[in-house]
Amino acid sequence: MTSIVKHVVLTFLLLFCLASVGDYAQIRYRIWRNHRPYGAVTIEVLYAISQKSTPGTNKTEYQSGGFQTQTCLNSLFPHFGYTPCWYLSRHTEKRIKI
């Protein structure tokens, strides 16, 4: 039973490594050939301000900080400090605690 689990874990680890290396190679090739490796997503900035007026309550007030265009990478995994566009397009709010 443990040998089957080891084979399954090693198989998933190998597939993850292959996907990561393939994604990195694909991004490097797209950058080299200038085939639109980067994208842009508009996100809304929200400032989360903790209310301390009433003791014992944890109320938070949100204020809009406007919209920003954030550069993203058309890839499966994050590379070079950029977030993948598929992830950023699903998370369009950026909350900043004050």
pLDDT in tens, 24-35: 999 999 999 988
Give dist(CA 50, CA 34) in Å, integer. Answer: 45
Annotated domain spans of the chain: 2-97
- pLDDT above 90: residue 19: yes
Mean pLDDT of 63-73: 92
What's the predicted TM-score (pTM) here? 0.76
- pLDDT above 80: residue 47: yes
pLDDT band for position 40 (cuts 50, 70, 90): very high
Mean pLDDT of 69-80: 93
Looking at residue 49, its pLDDT comes to 86
Count CB-CB contacts under 10 A for residue 54: 8
Give dist(CA 60, CA 41) in Å, integer. Answer: 27
